[in-house]
Amino acid sequence: MSPQTDEVASSSKANSFKNQGRAKTSHAGSTRRNKGFTRAENSSQDSHSSDSSASQNVGVKYVNLGEEDQMEIHGYRRSIFWTTVTWFFIVITVGILRMVYHWFPEWFLNCTHTKCSLEAAEKVLLVEICQEKYRKIHIRTIIRQTALQALTIANQEELSTSNKNHNEDYVLEEFNKATEVLSLPLPNPDGTFHEVENMRLFTCKKLRYVWNERSKEFFKLKSLGPGIPTSSLHCPDAQQGLAGLSLIEQQKRRAVYGRNTIYVPVRPILELLMLEVINPFYIFQVVSILIWIAIWYYFYAAAIAVMSIAGIIITITQTRRNQRKLRNTVRGNDIITVCRGNGDYHTVGTEDLVPGDVIVIPAAGCVLHCDAVLLFGTCIVNESMLTGESVPVTKTPLPMRNDVFYNPREHARHTLFSGTRVVQTRFYDDEKVMAVVTSTGFLTAKGTLVSSIMYPPPADYKFERDSYKFIGFLASLASIGFIYSMVTKIMNGDTGLQVLLHSFDLITVCVPPALPAAMAAGIILAQRRLELRNIFCISPRAINVSGSINCVCFDKTGTLTEEGLDLWGVVPVARIANFLRVLSPVTKPCTLPGAVSAVTGSEMSQEDPKKELPYLLFKGMATCHSLTIIDGTLNGDPLDLKMFESTGWNLIEPSHDDTHKYDNLCPTVVTWTPNESERHSKVEVGIVRQFPFSSALQRMAVLCKEMGKDQMHFFCKGSPEMIQSLSLPETVPENYHELLESYTKQGFRVIALAHRLVESQSINKLQKVQREDLEHGLTFLGLVVLENRLKPDSAEVLAELASAAVRTIMVTGDNLLTAISVARDCEMVGENEEIVIVNCDETTLSEDKPRLTFVLAEKVSRQLTGSPTATRTNMSIAEDVILSMPDTGTHYGRYHLAITGKSWSVIQEHYSELIPNFVVKGTIFARMSPDQKQQLVVALQKTGYFVGMCGDGANDCGALKAAHAGIALTDSEASVASPFTSKEPSISCVPELIRQGRCALVTSFGIFNYMAIYALIQFFSVMILFEVGTNLSDFQFLYVDFFIICSLSAFFGQTQPYPGKLFKRPPLTSLLSPPPVGSLVIQALIILLIQLTSLFVTQQQDWFVPYLNITNGTLGTELSEYACSENYAVVGVSFSQYIFLALAYSKGKPYRKMFLTNYGFTASLALWTGFSLYLLIDPNEYLKELFELEMPPELSFRFVIIGFSILQVALCLLIEAFLVDRGLVAMMNSSCWLKMRPRQEMYLEVEQKLSTSRWPLVSNYDGDPPPEEHLSSVMNQFSAFRAKS
């Protein structure tokens, strides 16, 4: 198998905004989608694929079309003739050509193979377009196996890793003896399998791609389950041991899917050494060292060799450490019981599991090493290592439905994920808790996360791209110098190997070998500073990018607000004299029954008090939750915990004997003992079944039974909008909307409860009943009001970011009302700034698509209350209700859009041309799913923002990974997907990261400019001295390169960030912009002028004798003697240039502290300035001989050279401080410059366009929509604008 190589190269943007999202969030019961391999022209099987294929090349084949990892695929077959020719040239170039092919593997593939169909291919070329601008390739060898070969290989892998019992060997012997043709099961999209005799496959990013002979396509092996009915995953006979895969079936599936391991390879040291040594930079260094040795620069060659070897050792050590750390983090195995059918149960290692295995979850719990769907029983799972949520989660059996299709995200409450820990299991009687395996290895949730770490997308680092271009410029300059030097020497009659080698030395001078080490030093120092502030980084390259951030997205709960909730009170509903009334809030729910009785008095009905609505609300708060006792401590969702504790009830989990009085149904019992003054007796309620919370359904429910009663109670708890829709209209108070709005506008989190009675049923029926059969015709009980307080520093941090012109956005899964209130409380939206709510009306179609409507938030309260003096509020209670909008016309000035996840989906699918408008003006995004959060981040990046994302890691992993700088406020395993992790759960890490990033970015600019100007200084010096027949001596090179440059560049990055408020403008991000380019050009001209002037003045002295006259025309490169007056004149002024240009490029305020606070850097400046002055004025004989200095006979002339050095220092500092930092930077911001070279960021164009546009159009006070012709004109205007952009 040939080396599997990746390459990243720049390419133009592949898609426009029109092809951006268009991926609808799937819901239970939605039509399943097949997104396997397909041709671009046949990609109409779902809306996403058909839309995205519009921008694909016709006739090109793809794998994973429409998915995040979509790739082109091309087939190749080896050509014997071209392989022979290629290796012939490799041999005659002594392997140099093969090394070039290693850098460009696609060239090697095209030189040794010819394109062919995938059916005949021996290798495939996979082309991945990353971030629509990078081209990443993967070259993979196709493996052909018969069924017997695949089974033999799979068995050998097992035997090589562990000691197996004789069953496995027996099965393999049976395969070998089989007379019929062996076959392997390959999965179909519908969850079924078809048998094949031979298998063709390749592996890419740890995932297997298998050839489908029917469709003549490669498709990615996927998990068992997604897109198939949930009933297909169920095994009704599993409890009797009659379900599961036999040993033979398991062996066959293992041959297809591979072993259930997440293997992170740790490369051998020799392999890492070879990969590092053949890096283009180190090859350049090796060539440079050989040239230096050939021209007798032994000391400098040895110094650079030591530095290079040290750098290689550090890199290899760090790489091995990272690989070991990741492997140790994800490695793990265990033993588990598997059902084999026919009543057989086998204990096997978890690495032998395959999709379709039915496993038994032990009662004492275990760590999951696969993804599995729970079939029977209940599991309490700790998912903190995967999601960051420390709260145990209750997992319940998957409903068995033919019309509901399994989706791991939507059915997360029924899915056990790899890497999570099952704390305990529960089931009635002695039944087993069982699950069916759906994913193994890298197909699991944990495997996907590890794969994203091992194969990260290429980062968009503009600074690095510009640095490569500038290094190319230096190399071109060196080539010109080389050609000039060679031509000049040949014309002068100078020949020989030394002349050639010295000319080659110009290239090594102009491209400084120490540049990468100097750049890396600054980043490492920035990483250490972040760690001291409890911000840990796994991607050091992202530190510079964080300095460019100008937009930050924040999650709400746990990020801007406190993680926990405080119960503010309960708002019960009571039926008094046959009228529904909303009672006054009760701040202590434990007093709810008595308080209600005291308020209503005799007006209350004389029925059984336990049938009164307030009492049912009380009981619902005590039972409708997913709390459990672990190690004697009550655990669960913070909201459930606060709500339950406020009732004063007790939760017990009785032993097996105690559950018999609840018909063996109730693993959890809640009890309440009322006060003697109350009309109630002691209550014991057993929770029969839980229907866990679903973010898609926005609710949870329980079925419970009170001891001694025949009827059961069904309680449902969730978002007010959802509970209202499930309740009988006559049970909902008339002033419900006003009531809810009054609390949500204050930022409270509001939960509603509803209830219905259910007839008692048998155990089997209760376990099989579907929640949809119960969640209708409910009686509305009231509201639970919780307070989610802002974190103490949230408002202050957001104000600091706003003052630094960093845009802030809230993206949350919470209610839009609450999100808007929190945005105002934390001053993300100013007091006098407007909020425009974006709604969609799916009942009113315009051009066959839902119509978007807009409303100013402060007008909603007038419509709800009818009061002209009502205060500013947020929006309609029902987020999908269309509201009339105020004054028709334009909205000049500052306003913010508030968008829900539902509206965002409509915008992506039907109004993709307006996405830039919405992301530029959108500040509040609520009810957003994890996928939608990621889509928003990508949309912001496409408009030109450098985006940061700050979240708690639970639902933000995708957005954290997609952002330029993701900051996870969690220690979970999910945080490894984020470049940065803060150990302190506070958003104060965001300005600190930006501050450190800006400091690191300015440092990188400074180091790069300094190393570039250092190369130019040395290039000018060498070229000038070459003209007079001499050069710098070995120790002069060593003193400059090893002592001055290395020490100053090493200390350069130790300057701390400026401690004040963030500056309102981020630093430059392009090395090719006027300030850095202008600085280098002007400084280079001054340097050249000073050196030439110093040489000219020296040549005018009476005592001056030209070097070539002393040596009788022999070049210094041939004599290896360089001491002369010309050398002293040029080297003397260059010392100050090397030293003080480091000071000129060591920028201070507003991004870094003053250089004097960097004691190492200041000491180095002082040390080398003093030593250089000593060398120039009166060195001792040893130093004169060592440095080969020819001292001028007149002491006064030595001070003339020092005078030139002082002039150089003054000029370089003044030019950098005034002409560059003030003049060129101010020029870039001037109107004339912006007219000639307008900024390229799309969001600036959008802002400018919106500032004079009538968009968004709103209705008038009476609810009349804006004129249709206005709407059409605005849409046409923006369509033209988008086309132009």
Using the predicted structure, report yes or no on whether residue 277 has a pLDDT greater than 90: no
> What is the Cα gyration radius of the chain?
36
Do 426 and 667 meet the contact criterion of CB atoms below 8 Å apart? Answer: yes
Do 624 and 616 meet the contact criterion of CB atoms below 8 Å apart? Answer: no
User: Cα(254)–Cα(779) distance, rounded to whole angstroms?
Assistant: 52
- What pLDDT, on the 0 to 100 scale, is given for residue 1092? 94
- What pLDDT, on the 0 to 100 scale, is given for residue 61? 87
Which region among 348-362, 641-655, 1060-1074 has the lowest average model confidence (pLDDT)? 641-655
What percent of the residues of the chain are helix, what percent strand, and what percent coil, each to the nearest 5?
A: 45, 20, 35
- What pLDDT, on the 0 to 100 scale, is given for residue 645? 85
Using the predicted structure, report yes or no on whether residue 81 has a pLDDT greater than 90: yes
Q: Where are the alpha helices (DSSP H) in 1104-1158?
A: 1107-1110, 1116-1119, 1125-1145
Q: Retrieve residue 1175's tokens.
A: 């060398």
Using the predicted structure, report yes or no on whether residue 903 has a pLDDT greater than 80: yes
What's the mean pLDDT in 1037-1054?
88
- What pLDDT, on the 0 to 100 scale, is given for residue 689? 83
Q: Where are the alpha helices (DSSP H) in 662-789?
A: 720-726, 736-744, 763-768
Which region among 359-373, 489-503, 938-952 has the lowest average model confidence (pLDDT)? 489-503
- What pLDDT, on the 0 to 100 scale, is given for residue 807? 92
- What pLDDT, on the 0 to 100 scale, is given for residue 159? 57
pLDDT band with cut points at 50, 70 and 90 for residue 49:
very low
- What pLDDT, on the 0 to 100 scale, is given for residue 678? 57
What's the mean pLDDT in 1040-1060?
89
Using the predicted structure, report yes or no on whether residue 1267 has a pLDDT greater than 50: no
- What pLDDT, on the 0 to 100 scale, is given for residue 717? 92
- What pLDDT, on the 0 to 100 scale, is given for residue 78? 94
Q: Which run of H or E residues covers position 2? A: none
Q: Where are the alpha helices (DSSP H) in 1178-1194?
A: 1181-1187
Using the predicted structure, report yes or no on whether residue 875 has a pLDDT greater than 80: no
The predicted model scores a pTM of: 0.73
Which region among 215-219, 609-613, 1169-1173 has the lowest average model confidence (pLDDT)? 609-613
Greater model confidence, 971 or 400: 400
User: Cα(39)–Cα(32) distance, rounded to whole angstroms?
Assistant: 19
Average pLDDT across the chain, whole number: 78
51-61 residue pLDDT tens? 433 345 556 88
Closest CA to 241 of 348, 356, 345, 353: 345
- What pLDDT, on the 0 to 100 scale, is given for residue 387? 58
Using the predicted structure, report yes or no on whether residue 391 has a pLDDT greater than 90: no
Greater model confidence, 549 or 1277: 549
Which region among 18-27, 380-389, 513-522, 947-956 has the lowest average model confidence (pLDDT)? 18-27
What's the mean pLDDT in 452-462?
69
- What pLDDT, on the 0 to 100 scale, is given for residue 604? 46
Using the predicted structure, report yes or no on whether residue 1272 has a pLDDT greater than 50: no
Using the predicted structure, report yes or no on whether residue 808 has a pLDDT greater than 90: yes
pLDDT band with cut points at 50, 70 and 90 for residue 1273:
very low
167-191 residue pLDDT tens? 555 455 555 555 566 888 888 766 7
Q: Which single residue is written with the structure tokens 């059961």?
A: 712
- What pLDDT, on the 0 to 100 scale, is given for residue 279? 79
Tell me the residue type at 91: V
My answer on whether omega of the bond before 456 falls inside 30° of 0, hence cis, is no
- What pLDDT, on the 0 to 100 scale, is given for residue 787? 80
- 276: which residues sit within 8 A by CB, 6+ positions away? 282, 312, 315, 316
Which region among 85-99, 198-212, 814-828 has the lowest average model confidence (pLDDT)? 814-828
- 869: which residues sit within 8 A by CB, 6+ positions away? none
348-379 residue pLDDT tens? 888 889 998 999 988 878 888 899 999 888 88
What's the mean pLDDT in 831-856?
76
- What pLDDT, on the 0 to 100 scale, is given for residue 810? 92
**Which residues carry out catalysis?**
555
Pairing, β 134-141 against β 143-146: unpaired
- What pLDDT, on the 0 to 100 scale, is given for residue 195? 87
Q: What percentage of the chain exceeds 90 in pLDDT?
A: 18
Using the predicted structure, report yes or no on whether residue 1238 has a pLDDT greater than 80: no
1173-1211 residue pLDDT tens? 999 998 999 999 889 898 999 899 999 999 999 999 999
1097-1120 residue pLDDT tens? 999 998 998 887 877 766 666 666
- What pLDDT, on the 0 to 100 scale, is given for residue 902? 83
Quote the DSSP letter at residue 224.
Answer: S
Among 664-668, 1012-1016, 1069-1073, top mean pLDDT goes to: 1012-1016
Using the predicted structure, report yes or no on whether residue 120 has a pLDDT greater than 50: yes
What's the mean pLDDT in 389-414?
80
- What pLDDT, on the 0 to 100 scale, is given for residue 509? 74
Greater model confidence, 169 or 910: 910
- Residue 412 burial by CB count (10 A; 0-12/13-18/19+): exposed, middle or buried? buried
- What pLDDT, on the 0 to 100 scale, is given for residue 1096? 93
Q: Which run of H or E residues covers position 1230? A: none
Closest CA to 636 of 626, 649, 647, 646: 626
Closest CA to 446 of 418, 421, 413, 420: 418
Greater model confidence, 597 or 799: 799
Which region among 46-60, 398-412, 424-438, 807-821 has the lowest average model confidence (pLDDT)? 46-60
Pairing, β 922-926 against β 895-900: parallel
**In b/e form, how buried is each residue of 1127-1137, taking b as 16+ CB within 10 angstroms?**
bbbbbbbbbbb
User: Cα(1190)–Cα(289) distance, rounded to whole angstroms?
Assistant: 27
Greater model confidence, 1146 or 843: 1146
- What pLDDT, on the 0 to 100 scale, is given for residue 43? 35
Per-residue CA distances from 464 to 458, 513, 1007, 1077, 1177 (Å): 12, 17, 13, 15, 42
What's the mean pLDDT in 391-404?
81
What's the mean pLDDT in 261-270?
86
User: Cα(840)–Cα(899) distance, rounded to whole angstroms?
Assistant: 10
Which region among 29-33, 329-333, 418-422, 670-674 has the lowest average model confidence (pLDDT)? 29-33
- What pLDDT, on the 0 to 100 scale, is given for residue 660? 42
User: Cα(143)–Cα(481) distance, rounded to whole angstroms?
Assistant: 51
CA angle (720 as vertex; 718, 724 as ends), nearest 5? 105
Quote the DSSP letter at residue 806.
Answer: -
538-591 residue pLDDT tens? 778 788 888 889 999 998 877 888 766 778 888 888 877 677 778 878 877 776
pLDDT band with cut points at 50, 70 and 90 for residue 695:
low
Q: Which single residue is written with the structure tokens 């260094």?
A: 285
What's the mean pLDDT in 721-744?
85
Do 1005 and 1067 meet the contact criterion of CB atoms below 8 Å apart? Answer: yes
Q: Retrieve residue 25's tokens.
A: 């969030």
